[in-house]
Structure 1
Amino acid sequence: MNARALQVSDLAGGAGVADAPSAFDERRFRHALGRFATGVVVISTGAGESMHAMTANAFMSGSLNPPLIVVSVGHRARMHRCLMDHAHFGVSVLSDEQESHSRHFAGDAQTAFAPRFAEVDGLPGVVLLEHAVARFAARVVDRHPCGDHTLFIGEVLVFSLDEQAPLVFFGGRYASVAMGRA
């Protein structure tokens, strides 16, 4: 079997192996990352007047035992400061009927929109969106710098789930997933 090393120019679609790599294209990199379909979540922390929420798609499971989740938040986001200051946070995985929630918490105010949050008993400062596909209440157990973001690791204290179709984000657009039988 003949194998050859994959060159940077191969990855970039370049013609020659000897071509020097050009300046890193952040816009094209962002576009390439957008080719990975993700779910859409709303991260929330605080309560009452100090409650803050934001849309994100940088969410993943960290571990089953102990139960850990990870969210990645940019240093310039207001949520970053909130997560640095609070011990708990919530993650609501949006259903395909909650696109307006995603847009609202991404900074695109929706007219005639009133999101409904539910408090989590015994966890002050954690609220979760009603009618989300899955909801997680977590305690921040670690923070890791990651370039212009911080990875916040949360130990899941309480979670719930529904059997709705999730909201999906792919290539800069919202989509949904047809729910089949398992």
Structure 2
Amino acid sequence: MHANVLRRAENSAESPVPGGELDERRLRNALGRFATGVVVISTGTGEALHAMTANAFMSGSLRPPLIVVSVGHHARMHTRMMQAELFGVSVLSEEQESHSRHFAGEPQEWLAPCFTEVDGLGGVALLHRALARFAARVVDRHPCGDHTLFVGEVLSFSLEEDAPLVFYGGRYASVAQGR
């Protein structure tokens, strides 16, 4: 069995390309084999609120409490994050796929997203009923190819008990919540 697994891996391996050029579509598909959660990144409040769906989110550190989001240079959110002092991250539940689509540029005309401002933190609003919600202060920005990594110190957070929305292989999915 071990030899069969190796043989399959060898057959699917990408051959080096002259000049170091990779097939971007295949690379995207390979990266899509990593299941991720789905978040909505937000900056501003009220009329200045701007939000975007992303799956490039991670914990950076527990001490100090840091989170990291990655935003593409061509996204409107990038300009806002470059100027922002505060931002929010709302982790979506499996019932919030429509929110993900809405903030990913597929307007859901019937949807009326509800954001709640964080007390004492003017400039941060988080999506109501999200699985987990984080309000953060930007403490660092790191260029990373065609994206920027924004590091935020967590100032407040909340947690709900629901199943997460998952993104895998270019599709939405869900997982059974273990208890």
Q: What TM-score, normalized to structure 2?
A: 0.90
Can you give the 5+ residue segments of structure 2 that lack an aligned partner in the other structure?
A: 1-8
Query: 43, 46, 59: which one pairs with 1:45?
Result: 43
Q: Give the SS at the match of 2:34.
A: coil
> How big is the shift at 1:50?
1.4
The answer to whether the aligner puts 1:116 opposite 2:114 as a matched pair is: yes
2:174: which partner in 1?
A: 176
- C-alpha distance in 1, partners of 2:82/2:151? 12
Which deviates more from structure 2 when the two are superposed, residues 47-56 or residues 57-66? 47-56
> How big is the shift at 1:81?
0.4
1:67: which partner in 2?
A: 65
1:13: which partner in 2?
A: 13
Greater helix fraction, Structure 1 or Structure 2: 2
Q: Give the SS at the match of 1:98.
A: helix
> How big is the shift at 1:80?
0.5
The code of the aligned residue for 1:164 comes to D
- C-alpha distance in 1, partners of 2:60/2:16? 38
Query: 132, 136, 139: which one pairs with 2:137?
Result: 139
The answer to whether the aligner puts 1:158 opposite 2:156 as a matched pair is: yes
Largest Rg, 1 or 2: 1
> How big is the shift at 1:111?
2.3
- Provide the identity percentage: 73
Query: 23, 32, 36: which one pairs with 1:25?
Result: 23
Cα RMSD (Å): 1.6
1:101: which partner in 2?
A: 99
Can you give the 5+ residue segments of structure 1 that lack an aligned partner in the other structure?
A: 1-8
Query: 153, 165, 168: which one pairs with 1:167?
Result: 165
Q: Give the SS at the match of 2:28.
A: helix
**Equivalent residue pairs, number:** 169
- C-alpha distance in 2, partners of 1:108/1:20? 37
The code of the aligned residue for 1:172 comes to G
